[in-house]
Structures are given as C-alpha cells and as structure tokens.
Structure 1
Amino acid sequence: MHEVLADNRYPGRGVLWARTRGGLLCGGYFLTGRSAASKERFLRQEEHALSVVPTGESGHDALRHYLAARERGGWLVFGNGEQVAVVSDRLHQGNGPYQAMEGLEYEPDPPICTPRITVVADLRTEPHAWFGAARRPRGHRTGADLLTLAVRELKPGDAVLMTTYRSDGERVEAVAPLVEARTEAGDRQELLAEVWAGLSPEVRVAAAVFEPGRLADAAIVHQRSGTTQPV
C-alpha cells in the first residue's frame, strides 16, 4: 500500500478499508492539500465522530470542512464531505447502504469536479463495507455516475483504497475506481504509519485509522509546519 500511495503525488482525500497482518479490521481516512487553505485543517476527534475543521480563524467552507466520520445506530460512515452526514441520517432512518448512498453528487468545484467518496460499515455483525463514489462522467454528460460496491471477507494483509485524485505531481484528474493493495501493518498504529509514510510530505495534512465500533479511539496524525504531530 505504501507504494500505491507514493506513486500518486497528490491523491486529494482517501478512504481505506483493511485487515492488518494481526487480523484487525480498520477503516482509514486521510487529507492532502496544495493550497494554504487546504493545508490549514485538522481532524477534530469527538465521541462518535471525526470532523475536518480549520486550524485558525478562517470561516467555514463546505468543501473543506465537514463531518468526516460518524458512528450511529450500528453503522460507521466515513468519507470526504457533507454526504457523510446525509448517508448516516439515511441509515439511521432504516435505509440500507445502497439506498443511503443513492442520489449522491460530485462536488461543485469545476473544472475538476471532485468525486464524493464514502464508506459504510455495518457494526452489528462481522463488519462488511460498502464503497460509494459519485463522480462526473467523462465526456459531455453532467449527471453523476454512482459506483456502489460491497467489499467482504478481507484476509490478513488485504487493503482496499479509494482516492479522489490521481496525479503525477503536475496534472490532477478525478478518479473513482477502487485500488486493491496489501499492507504490512500488524496493528492500527502501524497501518496509520504506513499510510502517512506513503503520502508526499509537501501535501499531506492529516490521517486517521480507526477500528469499527471504536471511532472515539481513532489514531490520528497531523502535519503542521513540517512537523508530524500525533493526537
């Protein structure tokens, strides 16, 4: 997985579902940024949630600041924008994962039109995960294409990753497909370290790894002024 991340110079935001070598299921979320405003963010840890918030006095920006993860009513939801709250509410109202992610749209940030990427995990049984991506199609169509895929039965060392962008360091394009990878991590902290090391230091902002059902105990790391700061 380190190589997969390192090969993508600017992945934007990413979601991860993995089983460590020690057999532990984990979810993960990370932020990268190129502009000053994108870099001035951190992951605020709450009882049953993680939120992306500004580091300073800057005002709220709906595309940069949002609920990134929530555990509620037997479900874990995490992703890169306001759709996390929407999907969580729909699940709480009795919808299944496919219905909860139905009708999602990509971000209104032309020309790149960043995909909305979301993971839903059922905490009531052995956690299964559903990945969702709403992206603008290539060509002239403007309605969102929505991919929803169930991911089950990860073996130790298996990891599934989705990022918003693919970049060679100069050109940035929106992507949606999943990437299947392998992790050498034995536990949650090692998985976080593996993700963090794979991100380019000049763009990384924050990352979190958490066990399903234990979001309040998420392992989090931030990059501030060139210094890695565990939280």
Structure 2
Amino acid sequence: MATLVDVVGKCEYPGRGLAIGRDSDGLPFAAYWLTGRSPASQQRELVVSAEEIVVQELGGGGADELRHYTAAIRTEDWFIVGNGTHVSELAGTHADCVDLQVALRNIDYEPDPPIRTPRIFAGAVVEGPELLDVVVGSARSYSADQVQHPSLFLRRSEEATAGVVTTYSGTAAQVTTDGYPSVVSVKVEWESLPDLLWSRLDPSLRVALVVIPLLTDSFEGSILRAR
C-alpha cells in the first residue's frame, strides 16, 4: 500500500488534495492542501476558527468562489472537508440526515472549462478515536455534459490508514484531472505530517496546508503550513 506522504509527492501539480484517517497511534486526523499555478491562486491562505477552515485571499480582498470557500466544517460528532462551496452544501444535507454518498450525486464539477476541475470531499462521523461511515469522493467530468461520482466508503477507518483524493495528477504545464479516491498507509503520528507533506509539494506551486486533529469538537490544535 502506498503511503500518504508518497501519494502527496507523486506528481508535480496535485491541485487541491485531502486525506482523512487515523495515524500510526490510531488517532483520527484530516489534512487539506492547496497548490496553485496562477498568481491569484497563490495569493490565498487558510484561516482556522473553532468550527470552520476558510480559504481566502491574502489581505482579505474580493472573493471568487472557485478559489475562496469554506474548506472544512466541524460539529460535535462529524466532520466534512473539500475544495469548494459544496462543503457547506454537503454539511447542510448531512445535518438533515442525508447520506453523504447520496448527497454527492447532486454535486457538479467546477465550471472552469476546459479543465473542469473535480470537486473533492471527505466526511466522517467522529466518535473519540474512531472514524465511522467515512466517505471520500468527488464530482468529476466524464464528458462536457456528464458527471462521474466516484466514492470510497469505509464503515470504520483502520489504524494507520487514510482515504485520500486530489483534483489533479499531472504537471503544471499539462494538467490532468483526477478525483479518484484511494486508501493509503499512514506510518507516522499526525503531528509529523505537516512538515512531511509540505516538503513533498513543489515549492514553486505549494500555497498552504493544514493537518487537523479530530479528537476534539473544534479545529483548535490544527497545524498550518503556508508560503
């Protein structure tokens, strides 16, 4: 099984990526990272509050929903992370007890032709050190008017493993859309991941990264890395 660190560094331009799972000690965590090619994409930051993590423009300038959005939402017993405004939509439907895999079917890929970037997300129920009903998936373009919704469901996340998905898998010069979730191994404690993952992202493209402990019902204790 590939490791999370290897998957994050397997390509030059992963776009945006996320992981959710349990570390080598069995502690639950999530990670979210941003890379960008354009100056506008690189002028972003992750802002952590108690129950949300927001991607916003450096300096608090004008918003663009393709680049600025709520990336993660936490409640007392569940967590959702993703790369766009669909995170808030999925959080709302999940609060109404709609299964995340069912709710995913109503999500479209990003309106950014010709790339048609996948919308990725992960969600789970958090019960102490357990992650239950884990869903990792995406809405990706099959053709100009068809959407695929590949998803991975784990009734229980096993120790030292994580589900992971990225928007791209190519280079900055030749963007290749991805959006296919997979399971990877996590051979370290979650506190080691920020430096390990950050070091595997291309320095000219990396924007920000956050690794989030999920033992508490807030995002306090998250570890950020930024340009």
In structure 2, what is the Cα distance between the partners aligned to 1:221 and 1:33? 17
Runs of 4+ off more than 3 Å: 152-156
1:189 alignment partner AA: E
CA-CA distance at 1:20 after TM superposition: 1.1
Count of matched residue positions in the alignment of Structure 1 and Structure 2 = 221
CA-CA distance at 1:57 after TM superposition: 4.9
| Residue of structure 1 equivalent to 2:131 | 127
| Residue of structure 2 equivalent to 1:191 | 193
Matches within 5 A, 1:78-89: 78-89=81-92
| Residue of structure 2 equivalent to 1:145 | 148
SS of alignment partner, residue 2 of structure 1 = helix
| Residue of structure 2 equivalent to 1:210 | 212
Mark the CA change 1:179 to 1:8 in structure 2 (over 3 Å): closer, same or farther.
farther
Deviations 1:125-182 (CA, angstroms, capped at 9, x unpaired): 7322101210010xx4512111232124443332321000011443111112123322
Mark the CA change 1:51 to 1:30 in structure 2 (over 3 Å): closer, same or farther.
same
Q: Please tell me whether the aligned partners of residues 189 and 219 of structure 1 are also in contact (alpha carbons under 8 angstroms).
A: no
Q: Does 1:93 pair with 2:119?
A: no
CA-CA distance at 1:25 after TM superposition: 1.6
Q: What's the C-alpha RMSD, in Å, of the aligned pairs?
A: 1.9
**TM-score by structure 1 length?**
0.88
CA-CA distance at 1:5 after TM superposition: 2.0
SS of alignment partner, residue 87 of structure 1 = helix
| Residue of structure 2 equivalent to 1:111 | 114
Q: Does 1:167 pair with 2:170?
A: yes
In structure 2, what is the Cα distance between the partners aligned to 1:56 and 1:33? 17
14, 17, 23: which one pairs with 1:14?
17
CA-CA distance at 1:94 after TM superposition: 2.3
Structure 1 spans left out of the alignment, 5+ residues: 225-231
In structure 1, what is the Cα distance between the partners aligned to 2:137 and 2:226? 28
| Residue of structure 2 equivalent to 1:61 | 64
SS of alignment partner, residue 197 of structure 2 = helix
In structure 1, what is the Cα distance between the partners aligned to 2:188 and 2:135? 22
Deviations 1:173-193 (CA, angstroms, capped at 9, x unpaired): 11121233222322x221222
CA-CA distance at 1:221 after TM superposition: 2.4
Q: Please tell me whether the aligned partners of residues 161 and 181 of structure 1 are also in contact (alpha carbons under 8 angstroms).
A: yes
In structure 1, what is the Cα distance between the partners aligned to 2:12 and 2:123? 27
**TM-score by structure 2 length?**
0.89
Structure 2 spans left out of the alignment, 5+ residues: none
In structure 1, what is the Cα distance between the partners aligned to 2:167 and 2:108? 13
In structure 1, what is the Cα distance between the partners aligned to 2:156 and 2:95? 25
1:96 alignment partner AA: D
| Residue of structure 2 equivalent to 1:5 | 8
CA-CA distance at 1:101 after TM superposition: 2.1
Q: Percent identity, aligned pairs only?
A: 31
In structure 2, what is the Cα distance between the partners aligned to 1:55 and 1:215? 24
CA-CA distance at 1:60 after TM superposition: 0.4
Q: Please tell me whether the aligned partners of residues 138 and 151 of structure 2 are also in contact (alpha carbons under 8 angstroms).
A: yes
SS of alignment partner, residue 166 of structure 1 = coil
